[in-house]
Amino acid sequence: MKKLESISSNLLFLFHCFLVMLLIFENSVSIPYWLQPLGRMHPLILHFPIAFIVLLVILSFLKKQIDSKSFQKINRFLVLFTSFTTVIATIMGLFLSLESTPTELMTLHKWIGVVVSFLIYFLTFIKKETLYKTVLYIGFICVLFTGHFGAGLTHGANFITEPLAKVESIEINENTPIFIGFVKPILDAKCVSCHNAEKQKGDLDMTSFEKMMLGGKKGKLWISKNPEESSLLKRAHLPIEHEKHMPPEGKKQLTSEEIKLLSAWINQGANEKITLTDLPANDALGVLIKSRLKTIDNKKKLAYTFDFADKKDIEALENPFRTVIQKSPSSPAIDVVIHGRQTFKQEFITDLSKIKKQIVSLNLSYLPIDKNSINFISSLHNLEDLLLNFTNVNTEDLEAIKTCSNLKNLGLSGTQVDANIAPILKHLPKLNNVFIWNTSISEDDIKILKSEFTTINFETGFISLGDTLQLTPPILVSKKTILDKEEFIELGHKIQNVEIRYTTDGSKPDSTSTLYKRPLKIDFANKKPIKTIAYKKNWLASEIKDYSFSDKGYTPEKFELIHQGLNSEFIGEAKTILIDHIKGGKYANSSPFWATFSEKNYLNAVADFGANPPDIKKVIFSYGMRNNQKKESLALLEIWAGENKNNLSLIKHIKKNHNKIIVEKGGQRQITLEIPKSKNRYYKIVGIPHKKEKLYVDQVFFY
């Protein structure tokens, strides 16, 4: 034992001399690469001295329960072993600290750690019990502080005390900057622990937008509107075992949904201040944010107490003109949307009686509903959202909805309601928002309503501020540009009593052009767009707005993809995207409206038109280019047809060279394939991109 003590004492003396030397010359010391792994073992080794110091403290309280000789031997061995592991962990920590830029937190962690090492070393010399306990307890307290600062270096400042702090959370809504409400929380959770003011791995601090924009040792975190080349996402997409994958293996990883959101935000421009309300309709980022807001809203709501509807009832109610969707597998609440003015039947509403207890959202906008429909709505006692925009309802009709006491949002824009709506609103205690623009309710009446119902937000659209302002162009109310032959389009404006003029022959509209009075039916034989303009007294006329429409043609009964595409690069399923009758944006990107394919996972889809297929003589293939794309992506396009899915014949193919292209006014491209008129049940579409290119496809049309 004496020989072991002698060896241990000499080693401890040498190690502490070496520690002092490192502290004196640390600004001149450079750790060689072969010694750096030793420093990186610091987080592993430090657990030993912490455990043994705690054990020494516990042992000091048990001294009276152990005979004197046994206590001395056990305590002496523990003191020597604790001092040895403490100085080794401290030296390793110094090695590790020399790899990065020193910060205030790191300096505190380092020097308190050094103090702990020397305090435990002093215990090996102390014989007097009172002094021994004093030094030991001081050392134990120092360990607590060292651990706290160490956790701050690893997981961020105040990591240990953070759960005890009262954090004031912000209210997240559609006006919250997307970076603050949705992007920064992801980065805070997955990145900031290694990239903060105290621990800047790669010289990167991600604690604020301004510091993120400075980038790190490897350059910028992201390239605006170019997620594919942005370092943040390139590293996230690397295999988890790759040394450059971020977050590193063992850390909490980014989920696929988080990567999609970051990609969409960067693709949109990586703007710090942009909000959901600033985004254009159908923007990929907007779709994601709406989904997240809906999730947040659902979490805030108390669990519904009513039972789940029978799945068979939900499936039976689904049809092309009525959407019945359960909010989530864990929620019994149901959203219903009914669309199609020309095909509408009152039974589409009254047939919902089997699930009326579960309906919490009902959208009947633009439909010719009658009193029977309104009376049915009065039986929906759990209804929270009711949209009656641009229907023919009036104030008297709305008397029936007094029974919908859970109503929170009520859409009445473009209806015949008037200021006499006030008594009805008094029966709806939970109402938050009422949309009443484009109604006969005057500005004075609105002021009275706002003073009487201070908890309700009345959305009134724009109010005239003078005769020098220019009107915004007319809007397409339904937002749909791909229609069937029986559908109508509706034009509108957010300002009341605006006159809309339009032309269909390609000429510029003016104050003498056709006045818009009712929904229009599209003549698809006329390839020219509808040109619109808005007029109102004491306002400047709006700019001319063009709207082009496409015939959606025949929709297959089934659509099967043999290759599913690149799941990490789009949201949703390709088999839905390609026949959903929604065009992608100006440029192809990773979004809910573009399916992405590669040379290996190329487009290989089979459309099944059922036992009674239509006469098809044309297939249109719609695909897109990324902004600044330099070469054609599509190499080969083939159409196969036949009655047997497993034995189809090639009827048309097109090859395209990998030539340079110019993408200026949008990357959408369209190929029309004329085929022999036939009634084949199956049509197979094969689209193969050029090597190293990606093929973005948004729609396949059959005519």
The whole-number pLDDT of residue 157 equals 52
pLDDT at 334 over 80: yes
Q: What is d(CA 537, CA 355) in angstroms, rounded to the nearest whole number?
A: 48
Answer yes or no: is pLDDT of 163 > 90. Answer: no
> Binning pLDDT at 50, 70 and 90, where does residue 161 land?
very low
Among the listed residues 672, 633, 646, the one whose alpha carbon sits nearest the alpha carbon of residue 560: 646
Distance (Å, rounded) from C-alpha 196 to C-alpha 188? 10
Evaluate whether 613 touches 555 at the Cβ level (below 8 Å): no
Question: What does the pLDDT read at residue 383?
Answer: 93
Q: What is the pLDDT of residue 655?
A: 92
Q: In whole angstroms, how large is the CA radius of gyration of the chain?
A: 35
Do residues 30 and 95 make contact, with C-beta atoms less than 8 angstroms apart?
A: no
How far is residue 622 from each of residues 328, 573, 629, 656, measured CA to CA in Å? 32, 17, 17, 15
**Dmax (CA) of the chain:** 111
In this model, does residue 573 exceed pLDDT 70?
A: no
* Token pair in block for residue 251: 């850390």
Is the per-residue pLDDT at 685 higher than 90?
Answer: yes
Q: Please tell me what DSSP assigns to residue 229.
A: G
Structure token pair of residue 476: 């397409």
Is the pLDDT reported for residue 534 higher than 70?
A: yes
Q: Average pLDDT for residues 514-532, to the nearest whole number?
A: 88
Strands 433-435 and 409-411: parallel
Q: How far apart are CA 588 and CA 573, in angstroms?
A: 16
Note whether 385 and 361 are within 8 A (CB). yes
DSSP secondary structure letters along 84-111: HHHHHHHHHHHHHHTTS---HHHHHHHH
What are the C-alpha distances in Å from 73 to residues 42, 77, 86, 143?
A: 29, 6, 20, 24
Buried b (16+ CB within 10 A) or exposed e, 284-309: bbbbbbeebbeeeeeeeeeeeeeebb
CA-wise closest residue to 85 among 39, 124, 36, 51:
51
Confidence tier at 532 by pLDDT (50, 70, 90): very high
* CA separation for the pair 365, 577 (Å, rounded): 25
- What is the identity of the amino acid at 446? I
pLDDT at 105: 67
| pTM, to two decimals | 0.40
> In this structure, what token pair is assigned to residue 231?
């370092």
For residue range 224-273, what is the model confidence (pLDDT) as tens digits?
Answer: 888 888 888 888 887 777 778 888 876 778 887 888 899 889 988 888 88
Coil vs helix vs strand at 502: strand
What pLDDT, on the 0 to 100 scale, is given for residue 355?
92
C-beta atoms surrounding 564 within 10 Å: 14
CB atoms within 10 A of CB 257: 13
Digit-coded pLDDT (tens) for 350-402: 899 999 999 999 999 888 888 888 889 999 999 999 999 888 899 898 998 99
| Tokens representing residue 129 in the block | 């019990």
In angstroms, rounded to a whole number, what is the distance separating the alpha carbons of residues 553 and 555? 7
Q: Which residues pair with 328 in a beta bridge?
A: 331
Reading the block at residue 84, the tokens are 């040895």
SS3 content of the chain, % helix, strand, coil (to 5): 35, 20, 45
For the stretch 501-515, pLDDT in tens is 999 998 999 989 999
- Of 175, 430, 184, residue with least CA distance to 301: 430
